[in-house]
Structure 1
């Protein structure tokens, strides 16, 4: 009798585990980097979509490292992270191909004027996208500046600018809008996302997707395109959603901030030429940021 009871208990536990696993399979887990990327997902946060019977669950992550860990552990089906990180992970064998690109901007040169007393430019993140695009911008404009990385975070760079400790800085949204709002003598001196005024800009943000979801790709594309469009066409509503869910503190976002993020969705196939150009630019300036080489052709889906 004792063994029969034990057998029944074991069957019950196994059944529970099977049920839990089944529930997990009915959920598409999305990890989104906190910051401008999250703006594009405001609509999905307010109205969680369902894809072929699978609920979409969105988690906002505080750093790219957290998202990378979730991909390595297989804890995310879809992830939104910098393009540079997505390509690097792919080259390291974390085979999440590119689904599409939702953001094409956010980086700007901020100051009062081009500094005349000292050619020093403050930014943070050596070897990251802001660093690479700053160097590219200066090269294209034939400007010579000393790059100062003494501050380790964007808020520190912002505070240095507002306190007069830095004359010119590189910032991304929403810190650009915060700087312009707190000091009306500041202005945008350069658009690092589009130094030559061409369109489209650089596809700086990537949405990668587990290859097992390939049959859902078209439906996912439609949801992502609509969500990006919602943020652009209804910025006030998007801001409300993001503030209520504590993704951004009240007052951090403005409609102008959202406009400067250059939010619109393109599938990997639609954006292929822009992606190739951007990855080649990264390889030129910082090849180790990609793991020493460009990702192979399977990184960009060739689906119709």
Structure 2
């Protein structure tokens, strides 16, 4: 009788054990939704292959691709911690980190893609004196980069040159095309659109290269970064590693497949014209992504901003903990 009772107890324990394991497995395999946010324009182009083809990285994880038309919406989403993965302006990554939001920079999505264009044959910075430059993003990256490069080349902003700000990058192109301005900062892919419509457009200075020359770095400044939430990295490291690899491939594919990228962009509602993409956007340092290869550039970028507009990165230099290295 005792043996029978013990046997029953043993069987109950075994069954409960298996039930517990099954419940644990169910919890571990519960479907998870990952929100991947990025801005319309060049950042969206780097993710176009992923968003269109939506590859399965993990059967229990669904990626929701969220393209924001407004920069403000993306900023709000990051500062509220609503995105799990995002492509953001690199200064926003520092802001989030300094606010103790759990995001890590894993790589550079877009290197500097700002250019000073003119219809005049300007060969050196000295020739910019007493001229008017149309630009956008007052107090933001375009402004900081332009002012820094000018000052490092002997031009005092607001004294030697007049800087006129428009509300958005998209407003600069029409002003330049109309002839109201013959000297303007143009961001890609707008630059390619402008050169298609105004054939006497000349790129007189690549501001990314000039930034590199002025700061002594190799790649220029990191315009946009891929960031990932720390808990996602800790809890789903294999997914994160594979996602990073696939995203990196998507960036390279975007450079090498203009015609197909144009079709993808049109289908995804990306605001860059198909014809502009097919003509061939000027992609800067698309091969260089891994954060291990760009820390010097980030330090130079954040250091310059700290001197010029510290609030732009949250008031202090982010430390090494901001980075995630595979």
Q: Same fold (TM over 0.5)?
A: yes
Deviation at 1:269, TM superposition (A): 2.7
198-207 or 292-301: which moved more? 198-207
> What per-residue deviation string (whole Å, max 9, x for no partner) do you get for residues 12-54 of structure 1?
xxxxxxxxx9999522210011111111111102211233331
Sort the Cα spacing of 1:194 and 1:249 in 2 relative to 1 into closer, same or farther, 3 A: closer
Say which of 64, 75, 96 aligns to 1:89. 96
Counterpart of 1:238? Answer: 261
SS at match of 1:103: strand
Counterpart of 2:200? Answer: 185
Say which of 116, 130, 154 aligns to 1:142. 154
Spell out the pairing of 1:1-304 with structure 2 (5 A cutoff). 26-53=32-59, 54-113=61-120, 114=122, 118-143=130-155, 144-149=160-165, 151-195=166-210, 196=212, 199-214=218-233, 215=237, 216-248=239-271, 250-251=273-274, 253-255=276-278, 257-301=280-324, 303-304=325-326
Sort the Cα spacing of 1:97 and 1:226 in 2 relative to 1 into closer, same or farther, 3 A: same
Sort the Cα spacing of 1:25 and 1:289 in 2 relative to 1 into closer, same or farther, 3 A: farther
Deviation at 1:227, TM superposition (A): 0.5
Q: Distance in 1 between matches of 2:96 and 2:31?
A: 24
TM-score under structure 1 length normalisation: 0.85
Segments of 5+ residues of structure 1 without an aligned counterpart are 1-20
Q: Distance in 2 between matches of 1:117 and 1:299?
A: 40
Sort the Cα spacing of 1:217 and 1:123 in 2 relative to 1 into closer, same or farther, 3 A: same
> What per-residue deviation string (whole Å, max 9, x for no partner) do you get for residues 193-215 of structure 1?
11156632221111111112211
TM-score under structure 2 length normalisation: 0.79
Sort the Cα spacing of 1:61 and 1:30 in 2 relative to 1 into closer, same or farther, 3 A: same
Sort the Cα spacing of 1:272 and 1:117 in 2 relative to 1 into closer, same or farther, 3 A: closer
Segments of 5+ residues of structure 2 without an aligned counterpart are 1-26
Deviation at 1:261, TM superposition (A): 4.5
CA-based RMSD of the aligned residues comes to 2.4
Q: Is the 1:221–1:267 contact (alpha carbons within 8 Å) kept by the matching residues of 2?
A: no
Q: Distance in 1 between matches of 2:177 and 2:278?
A: 22
Q: Distance in 1 between matches of 2:149 and 2:128?
A: 19
Larger Rg: 2
Alignment length (residue pairs): 282
